[in-house]
Amino acid sequence: MHPKLLKLCVAALLVCGMAAAQQPVTQSSMDELLQRLAAQDARIAQLEQKLLALSGTAVVAAPVAAPAPETPAPPPPAAEPTTTETAADTPPPDDPHDHMINLPGGGPVLKIRGFFDFNYGVGSVANPLVFPVADNGCGTCGNPVLPTHNAFQAGEFDLFMTSQLSEHLSFLAEMVLGPDDTNVFGLDIERYQLAYKVNRYFTANAGRFHTSIGYYNTAYHHGNWFATAEGRPIMFLFEDSGGILPVHMVGLNFTGEVPHTEALGLHWVAELGNGNSSNPATIAIQNFYSDRNYKATNFAVYIRPRFASGLQIGGSWFHDGLNPAQAEIPLAVPELKQNIESAYLVYLTSKWEFLNEFVVMDNHPTGSAAAVSPMAYTQIARGFGIYKPYFRYQYVDDSRRDPINLLRGIYYGPSVGMRIDFTDYAAFKLQFNHLYESSQLAGNGLDAQVAFTF
């Protein structure tokens, strides 16, 4: 220890000793303190001489620098939310379009991302969200549907929120404000998920999520800016747009990778939830009240092999038991078992997009034959800079004998379009649809859409 520093320590100890003994600081006490310091100086000089004799070198006291003022450490950067959804759900790190809200006094950071799309539709099958639900006539038997009108159409105003609550715990929510054919805006909390990620092999989610039936339903959610085409395939229409598949579920979702399969990239998903209402003519998604004790289950697997970057192959099996007689609005239909099998092959690169999916829905009422509904689509796109032309062909055969489906009949036809990413965060899409319907005359529709994120 340097001599001057030692003097300061001794003086500090003496002062503290006087304070502890509650002695008043007077002139005599200061004189006494100075005498003690002088004695300590003498002892230090003696120690320096002894050290000099032992080492043979001079002892030079180094100056004691004044302590630097303390500065508070900068707060750690906020961690990115951990979710089990696709990368499209989570904004990239440090994106300037992330809107963050910090709680007073610290705490989790809430990140908000917005999406919207604005359309102009011409023709009977132009609208990307609600066609072909309208079935107020029969074109093939001389009673045509009401004529459609060219219209500007607001899409979905989507607010996507994420927050990292701890190292392993995160939250995700998606709120959508959108209109329908009554021209009324409705607010829906489409997704809310509390996720606990132990490691890459196991993540548990609780809340409302998109079921892992096929690929499209978990790859593209409610932000149309992410999708190449301007509308979802008919088979994956949302429940409130007439879709027959349970694309939403309220319950539990578990997912992860399979250990020691890194070369194959094997993943698994297991889901347990309320299932859709036994009478889908009511509110299909059972957010709070379930009309039965039976729970829906879904199990899915997929691979992302290293040897073929961009390739993903998977499938799923969904099972539920419905009781229409116990629905909020009862139906004179016996209990039925519902099975949904899916398979897909997807290839995605920076230039190419190739989507292929096949789903079979089997609704089997007790005591009668099963109503089997096959459905499929294929979509291919190729990027040329900011331009991406694409083509989709789809086929849906919803059995007319099905006792609960809202959408019945055969629907098939092509769609062709062009997507132009004229900025980093906005795209223009122009799509032409030609759709054959079993109960209607063939319909055409042209839709122009601007989709963006903010």
Question: For residue range 275-323, what is the model confidence (pLDDT) as tens digits?
Answer: 999 998 888 899 999 999 999 999 999 999 999 999 999 999 999 999 9
In-domain check, residue 286: yes
In-domain check, residue 61: no
* Domain co-membership, 143 together with 286: yes
* Domain co-membership, 308 together with 255: yes
* Domain co-membership, 51 together with 173: no
* Domain co-membership, 108 together with 231: yes
Please give the pLDDT value at position 67: 40
In-domain check, residue 355: yes
Please give the pLDDT value at position 191: 97
Residues in the chain, pLDDT under 50: 10, 13, 15-16, 18-22, 57-85, 87-88, 91-92, 133-134
Please give the pLDDT value at position 71: 38
In-domain check, residue 295: yes
| Domain encompassing residue 317 | 91-453
Please give the pLDDT value at position 80: 34
* Domain co-membership, 12 together with 110: no
* Domain co-membership, 48 together with 131: no
- Number of folded domains in the chain? 2
In-domain check, residue 265: yes
Q: Provide the whole-model pTM.
A: 0.75
In-domain check, residue 81: no
CATH number of 147's domain:
2.40.160.10
Please give the pLDDT value at position 90: 52
* Domain co-membership, 95 together with 49: no
Q: Which two tokens stand for residue 41?
A: 């100086």
* Domain co-membership, 261 together with 405: yes
Question: For residue range 324-346, what is the model confidence (pLDDT) as tens digits?
Answer: 998 888 988 999 999 999 999 99
In-domain check, residue 71: no
Please give the pLDDT value at position 250: 97
* Domain co-membership, 41 together with 109: no
* Domain co-membership, 166 together with 262: yes
* Domain co-membership, 18 together with 123: no
In-domain check, residue 76: no
Question: For residue range 262-274, what is the model confidence (pLDDT) as tens digits?
Answer: 999 999 999 999 9
* Domain co-membership, 127 together with 188: yes
